Each structure stands twice: as C-alpha cells, then as structure tokens.
C-alpha cells in the first residue's frame, strides 16, 4: 500500500529555492488572456523572471493554480513552438490527477521528435503513472528507459530521478531493502550535482518504508525531515501532504489530541489552497479519530469514497482507507 501520490515536483524543478510570493501570476495571466501569448511572455520578463518554464511550474506548485498553469503551458507551447511546455502541461495534469491526459501527453512526447531530455522526463512521468496504476512491469521498463536516456545525456540529476523512481517501485512491491539501496544510489548521483535536489523525496520514501512496517515513530521522524525540506524549497502542497501523514501516524500511535490538532490545521490549509487530494487524505485521519472516539463518520467516509471513485487512476488512498478502517484503536 503506497500512501503517497508520487511527487513529481522534483522532475520539473529548475533549481532549488523559494520563489517570491506575489500576485505576479495574476498579472501575467491577465496579459496572456487579454493581449495574447507574446504579451504574456513580456509580462513574465517584466516581473523579473527569466525562465518561462519555471514560471509555469511555480504557478502550479507554489500557488496551486493548476488550471491557470495548464492554460499557460498550452499557450506558451504554441507561442514558442517548444515541446518542453507540452511536458509542463502533462505534468500539471498529473498533479491534478487527470491521469488520462497526463499519460496520453507523456506517450505522445515519447513517440515524437522531442529531444532526449524531454523524452527522459516523459518516461519518468509515465513510470510514476504506471506504478500508481499497479502496472509494475511497465513502470520498471519506464524507469529503465529514464535511466538509459539520462545516462546517455550524462545528467547526474536525471540519474537521481531514475533511481528515485526505482526506489518507489521497489517500495511499492514491498522490497524495502532494494528500495533503500536505490535511494542511496539516487543520493550518490545527487551529491554530484552543483545544485543538488533537496532530500525531501528521499526522506519521504524512507517514511513510506517505516509506515508500511508499522514503525510510526520512525515514519514521523522521516516525514518531519521531508516536510521541512519541502517547505524550505517552497513546495507547500508536498509539505502539507507530509504533515497529513504525520497526523495519521500520531493517530495510529494513540496520540489522538495531537493528531486532531494537526488534522484541523491541515483541513484549514487544504480547503483554503484547494489541495483536494490532501484534504481527502486528511479526512481519512479524521475518520479514524472519529471511529476510535465512538463518533459517526459515515458522512466523511462517503465524501472520501466518492472522491476516490471519481479518480481516473487507482488512488493509493483507497488502500489507505481500507487499512485505517481495519486498524485497531489504542
């Protein structure tokens, strides 16, 4: 049972850092819609930004404006005639869990005349989708293609991503030692990068291992490390996802009041920022708390099951829901 929807912000990040939080995204989208793509490009540069792709990525990851980001990437792809923006679109569809669109776009890019770099990114995206869908053999092949292309390109950062994907697949299969070995291999490549990726994803995978082993204290430890790293890098949605895991772990340890406090904080943030997946994930924690306190949780459960039902992929939250409903109370 893999708790987390695989984090792809690693793949799309140009370099670590915390982007400035202003309403610059509103101004750029206004220019884009009212005066066209060229004006949108000029507006990005007028905001002091020098990377059009990074701007769209930040709009999705930092601000959570996924629909705006998709529109931005589509318009920039047509304006710049560059397939990298179509990859950006595919990635945002994945963040929205619009898996059909994301998978279709990734396959189209793989079969196109895109550069090897874009194809490597697309294989990485496809592998994560296949893994979540329990298409393990296909996911392994995509991970191998990711590694092959990045090795050909001489990209240590890409090899880091390939081994992170391999680690996630091994953990999904329950092969925890192989998963740890792949994480270590990933970090060995990460250490060779001038601006290395934050260790948030590695810590997240270690947290997953310990959660599956029911070692909730260690799962909390690594989840906190992951959460703090995501926050430092401005990846708030991923950080709140780890906060949700921490709350669930405390609940399973019987520290109900602590878990309740965390769940209330997550609920307020998830609703305010429209982090729907995290909101539903957090509802599972609240359901467990209500059940253990003898409260009715049927309404909350119905909302969770309806959300899972309408996903176009096999949501890992379905397995988590089943686990939590069977878990004993302290």
Each residue's pLDDT tens digit, 131-161:
988 899 999 999 999 999 999 999 999 999 9
Q: Domain check: are 100 and 131 in the same one?
A: no
In a domain, 291, yes or no: yes
Q: How far apart are CA 95 and CA 98, in angstroms?
A: 8
Taken in order 298, 245, 276, 167, the sign of the CA dihedral is negative
Q: Which pLDDT belongs to residue 294?
A: 93
Q: Domain check: are 233 and 312 in the same one?
A: yes
For the stretch 89-119, pLDDT in tens is 999 998 887 888 999 999 999 999 999 999 9
- DSSP codes of every residue in 201-214: HHHHHHHHHHHHTT
Q: Which pLDDT belongs to residue 35?
A: 95
Q: Domain check: are 189 and 247 in the same one?
A: no
Last residue of a domain, one of 144, 178, 197: 197
Owner of token pair 């609920």: 267
Q: Which pLDDT belongs to residue 319?
A: 85
Q: Domain check: are 234 and 327 in the same one?
A: yes
Last residue of a domain, one of 141, 170, 197: 197
pTM score of the predicted model:
0.85
Q: Domain check: are 293 and 326 in the same one?
A: yes
Q: Which pLDDT belongs to residue 258?
A: 97
Q: How far apart are CA 67 and CA 98, in angstroms?
A: 11
Residue 122 near residue 130 (C-beta atoms within 8 A): no
Q: Which pLDDT belongs to residue 317?
A: 81
Cα–Cα distances (Å) from 228 to 201, 223, 296, in that order, read 11, 9, 34
% of residues, the chain, pLDDT over 70? 92
In a domain, 262, yes or no: yes
Q: Which pLDDT belongs to residue 313?
A: 60
What value does the mean pLDDT take over residues 228-248?
A: 93
Residue partners of 35: CB distance under 8 A and separation at least 6:
none
- Give the confidence band of 312 by pLDDT, cuts at 50, 70, 90: low
For the stretch 250-305, pLDDT in tens is 999 999 999 999 999 999 999 988 888 899 999 999 999 999 999 999 988 999 99
Residue 95 near residue 73 (C-beta atoms within 8 A): no
Q: How far apart are CA 282 and CA 80, in angstroms?
A: 40
Is 16's pLDDT higher than 80?
A: no
In a domain, 322, yes or no: yes
**What is the number of other CB atoms lying within 10 angstroms of the CB of residue 16?**
15
In a domain, 238, yes or no: yes
In a domain, 4, yes or no: yes
Output the domain CATH number for residue 165.
1.25.40.10
In a domain, 49, yes or no: yes
In a domain, 279, yes or no: yes
What value does the mean pLDDT take over residues 212-233?
A: 96
**Structural domain span for residue 297:** 203-330
Taken in order 127, 128, 129, 133, the sign of the CA dihedral is positive
- Give the confidence band of 10 by pLDDT, cuts at 50, 70, 90: low
Q: Which pLDDT belongs to residue 74?
A: 95
Q: Domain check: are 329 and 216 in the same one?
A: yes
In a domain, 19, yes or no: no
Cα–Cα distances (Å) from 84 to 13, 52, 75, 110, 181, in that order, read 13, 10, 12, 12, 32
Q: Domain check: are 225 and 324 in the same one?
A: yes
- Give the confidence band of 308 by pLDDT, cuts at 50, 70, 90: confident
Q: Which pLDDT belongs to residue 3?
A: 44
% of residues, the chain, pLDDT over 90? 74
Q: Domain check: are 174 and 54 in the same one?
A: no
Q: Domain check: are 328 and 215 in the same one?
A: yes
Last residue of a domain, one of 149, 166, 197: 197
Q: Which pLDDT belongs to residue 244?
A: 97
Q: Domain check: are 64 and 107 in the same one?
A: yes
Domain total of the chain: 3
Q: Domain check: are 208 and 328 in the same one?
A: yes
Q: Domain check: are 216 and 187 in the same one?
A: no
- Give the confidence band of 165 by pLDDT, cuts at 50, 70, 90: very high
């Amino acid at each position: 049972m893999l708790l987390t929807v695989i984090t792809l912000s690693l793949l799309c990040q140009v370099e670590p850092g915390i982007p400035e939080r202003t309403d610059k995204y509103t101004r750029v989208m206004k220019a884009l819609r009212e005066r066209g793509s060229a004006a949108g490009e000029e507006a990005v540069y007028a905001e002091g930004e020098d990377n059009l792709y990074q701007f769209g990525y930040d709009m999705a990851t930092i601000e959570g404006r996924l629909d705006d980001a998709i529109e931005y990437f589509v318009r920039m792809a047509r304006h710049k005639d560059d397939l990298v923006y179509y990859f950006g679109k595919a990635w945002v569809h994945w963040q929205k869990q619009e898996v059909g669109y994301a998978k279709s776009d990734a396959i189209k890019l793989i079969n196109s005349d895109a550069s090897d770099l874009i194809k490597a990114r697309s294989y990485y995206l496809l592998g994560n989708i296949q893994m979540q869908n329990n298409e393990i053999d296909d996911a392994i092949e995509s991970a191998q293609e990711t590694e092959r292309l990045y090795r050909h390109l001489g990209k240590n950062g890409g090899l880091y991503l390939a081994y992170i994907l391999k680690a996630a697949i091994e953990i999904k299969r329950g092969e925890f030692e192989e998963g740890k070995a792949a994480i270590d291999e990933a970090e060995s490549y990460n250490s060779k990068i001038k601006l290395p990726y934050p260790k948030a994803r590695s810590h997240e995978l270690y947290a997953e291992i310990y959660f599956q082993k029911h070692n909730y204290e260690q799962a909390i430890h690594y989840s906190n490390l992951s959460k703090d790293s995501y926050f430092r890098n401005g990846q708030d949605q991923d950080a709140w996802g780890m906060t949700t895991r921490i709350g669930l772990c405390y609940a399973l340890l019987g520290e109900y009041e602590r878990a309740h406090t965390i769940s209330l904080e997550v609920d307020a943030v998830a609703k305010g920022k429209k982090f729907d997946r995290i909101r539903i994930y957090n509802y599972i924690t609240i359901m467990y708390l209500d059940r253990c306190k003898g409260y009715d949780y049927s309404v909350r459960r119905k909302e969770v099951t309806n959300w899972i039902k309408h996903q176009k992929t096999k949501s890992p939250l379905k397995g988590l829901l089943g686990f939590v409903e069977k878990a004993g109370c302290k």
